[in-house]
Amino acid sequence: MPKMLCSCGNILRFGDIPCKIQYNFISDVDYDKVQGLVDSEELYIQMKMFFVCEECKRLWFFWDGFDKPPQEYVPSK
């Protein structure tokens, strides 16, 4: 199963479909280009995603796809 190590030491496993730690999102600019009835697969391809660590609540944003390293966001205390 695909996995990555969070900075807190927790292992994020993201092989499940659907994946409970994965969130998909699309910018308003990109969504504005979507017209009419939407094919869910096509919309999915345009989405970016982030993972949430269930231990420390860090977010790992893949702004440029899975090929590039994710950006880490740490919640304030």
> Which residues here bind Zn ion, judged by CB under 5 A?
6, 8, 10, 53, 55-56, 58
Q: Which amino acid is at 25?
A: F
Question: Of 55 and 64, which CB lies nearer to Zn ion in the complex structure?
Answer: 55
As given in the structure block, the two tokens for residue 14 are: 């993201």
As given in the structure block, the two tokens for residue 36 are: 């009419």
Residue 60 Cβ, how far from Zn ion at the closest point, in Å?
Answer: 9
Question: Of 7 and 27, which CB lies nearer to Zn ion in the complex structure?
Answer: 7
The angle subtended at Cα 23 by Cα 21 and Cα 44, nearest 5°, is 130
Residue 20 Cβ, how far from Zn ion at the closest point, in Å?
Answer: 15
